[in-house]
Chains A and B, each alone.
Chain A
C-alpha cells in the first residue's frame, strides 16, 4: 500500500460571488477543484477576466470563498478568523506580485525582513542574517543596503522573490511576476523560482500569459470563465 503525499493546497468546489444580493451580483468562480502537491510548480494561464486573480486571492487567504472548502498545508481555512488566517498566510504562503510592490522607504534587506516583522515586531540580527542569505541566493548581496527604488526592475523582482521566501513558505503565489520584465530578466526570475521549488520543495502557483514559460512548468491549468478547463 503506497502512502499518498499530503497536498500543500486542496480546494474543493470553490465558488466566489461578488456583490451578493445586489443588482450587479456576479459569480466569478464556479466550483473550482484544485490540488497542489509538495514541490509542484504549476502554471495558471487564462485570458484576462477569467478569474485567475480571484483564484489566487482565495488561495492566498486574502479573500474568502463564498462556498467550498480550502485547506492550506492540511489546515482547513473556511472557519478561521482574520487573525488566524493572517498567521497561516504569514507562515505558509509567499507572494510575488506582477509589480514588485517593495516598500520604497525600505532598503533591499529591510524589504526581505518585512514578513518576519509579523512575529518579531521589530528588525533584529537573526532576521538580518536570514535576509542576507536570501539576498545572496538571488544574487543581490551587493545591493542589500541599497534603497529599493535604486534597483532595476529585474533586481526589484528578485528582491520580491527573496521576500516571498523569508518565512520559508510551503507555497509561493506568483501573479504574473515576469509580466513587467524584459525577456532576460523574466527568464532569470522564472529560473529562480524554479530552483527554489526544486531545491527547497516549495510549491509554486505561477500565473502567466507567457506560453513559453508555462510550458516549462510541471503542470499547467487553464482558467476560463471561472472554471478550470479540463
Chain B
C-alpha cells in the first residue's frame, strides 16, 4: 500500500464513493420513509380497537343443515360501544408494547351555521391522552389547544366553508336529533383537505352526550412503541380482548407495501454498490499480487510463512475497505448536510428531516471492512500459494 500510493489512492477513492453512495442513499431513503410514516400516522393512532361488527347468519333447519339458496343481507353497522371498555383499556394498557390508550367516541353529525351546513365526523376524546397519539396542538393554526365541554376544534377547510373563526359558535346536530351549540376553540391544519373539512374534535363527554352514548366509548385509540410491530400487537389485543383491533399497517396496506418495496430497493442498491466495491478491491489486490510476486517470493525465502502472507493481503483488503469507509462516510455525511441545506420546499422549509445516525456510519464501516476482507481472500490465497522459486525467478 505504501509503495503503490497512486493505486491505493484510486481504490480508496473508489471505495469512498461507493460507501458515500450507501450512506447518502440509506439516510435519504430512511428519512423519506420515516417522513412518510410520520405523515401517515400524524392524524391516526397506531391501532384502533373497535367493537365486533354485526354479522348475519342464516337460520338452520331442524336437521341442522344449511338451507339451500339462502341469501343473507349485510346488516347495517349502527354506532356501537365497546362492552366493558374500562376493563379492556386497562388490559391493553398493561401490555409492555403499548404506550398510550385513549378512549374515544366517533360518530357522524351535521354542523350548521346560518343556512350553511356540512356533514362532519365528530371525534370525542380525552385531550391529555389523545394529544399523545395525534399531536393536534402542533397542527393548530389559530386558537388554543385548551378544550372545554363547550368547545369544538375544526379544520381550516371547514372554517372557510362555514366562514367561521376562533370564538364563533356552531350548531352541531347528531342523527338522533340531539343538538348542541359549541364554540370554535381552535382551527387546525392536518395537511389533508378531506380531514380538514370533515374531522372535528370535542371532549369525550360532549360527544357522548351528542351521540347518545353516555358513559360509553366506540373506539380505543392506541400508540405502540414500535410502529412496525403494530399489526402483531393488534393481533395480540384482539386475542386478549375479543374485540376487533385494526393496525395502521392493515388499514394502510398499499402504503405499507410501498414502504416495504422501498426498503427492498434500498437493500438492493446497498448490495450492488458493496459488490462493486468488493470487485474493485479484489482487482487491485490481484494486480498487486502479480506485481509483487517477486517480493512475496523473497518474503517466503526469508522465512515468512504462507499464513503470514495470507494475513498481510487480508489486512491490506480490510484496511482499504476501512479507509474507504472512513472517507466515504465523511463524504456521505457532507453530502447529506448539503442536501438538507440546499434542497428545500417552495416555502423554504426542509423537505423532510434527515437523521445522521451514528449507527449508519458504523454499519458502513463494518460493511466496507468486511467487503475488503472478503474481496482480499482470493488474491491473498493466490499470494500465499506462490512458489517462492518461481516468484523470485519472476
Contact = CB atoms under 8 A, between A and B. Distances in A.
Interface string A83-95: 1001101110001
A60 B302 CA distance: 10
A62 B301 contact: yes
Q: Name, among B295, B301, B389, B392, the residue most crowded by chain A CB atoms within 10 Å (CB to CB).
A: B301
B303 A62 contact: no
A114 interface: yes
A101 B294 contact: yes
A115 B303 contact: yes
Nearest to B311: A121
A163 interface: yes
Contacts of A118: 302-305, 308
A105 interface: yes
Given A103-B295, A105-B2, A105-B3, A114 B392 contact: no
Interface string A75-118: 00000001100110111000101000101110000000011011
Q: Name, among A62, A83, A117, the residue most crowded by chain B CB atoms within 10 Å (CB to CB).
A: A62
Interface string B292-319: 0011001111111111100000000000
Contact of B389 (A63, A91, A121, A163): A63
Interface string B373-394: 0000000000000001100100
Nearest to B304: A118
**Interface majority SS on A: helix, strand, loop or mixed?**
helix
B389 to A, nearest CB: 5
A57 B389 contact: yes
B64 to A, nearest CB: 83
A118 B392 CA distance: 18
A167 interface: yes
Contact of B392 (A83, A87, A101, A104): A101
A82 B305 CA distance: 9
Contacts of B389: 57, 62-63
Contacts of B305: 83, 86-87, 118
A104 B226 CA distance: 58
Given A63-B389, A103-B295, A118-B308, A90 B3 contact: no
A114 B299 contact: yes
Interface residues of A, number: 24
A95 B301 CA distance: 8
Contacts of B2: 105
A35 to B, nearest CB: 23
Q: Name, among B298, B299, B302, the residue most crowded by chain A CB atoms within 10 Å (CB to CB).
A: B302
Q: Name, among A86, A90, A105, the residue most crowded by chain B CB atoms within 10 Å (CB to CB).
A: A86
Contacts of A117: 302, 304, 308
A90 B392 contact: no
A127 B306 CA distance: 22
A56 to B, nearest CB: 10
Interface string A17-56: 0000000000000000000000000000000000000000
B303 A87 contact: yes
A86 B298 contact: no
Given A103-B295, A105-B2, A117-B308, A90 B388 contact: no
Nearest to A101: B298
Nearest to A57: B389
Contacts of A105: 2-3
A95 B302 contact: yes
Interface of B: 2-3, 294-295, 298-308, 388-389, 392
26 contacts: A57-B389, A62-B300, A62-B388, A62-B389, A63-B389, A83-B305, A83-B306, A86-B300, A86-B303, A86-B306, A87-B303, A89-B301, A89-B303, A90-B302, A90-B304, A91-B303, A95-B301, A101-B294, A103-B298, A104-B3, A105-B2, A117-B308, A118-B303, A118-B304, A118-B308, A163-B302
Closest 8 CB pairs of A and B: A90-B303, A105-B3, A118-B303, A115-B302, A105-B2, A101-B298, A62-B389, A62-B388
Interface of A: 57, 60, 62-63, 82-83, 86-87, 89-91, 95, 97, 101, 103-105, 114-115, 117-118, 121, 163, 167
Given A103-B298, A118-B303, 12 more contacts: A62-B301, A82-B306, A83-B305, A83-B307, A86-B304, A86-B305, A89-B303, A97-B392, A114-B299, A115-B302, A117-B302, A118-B304
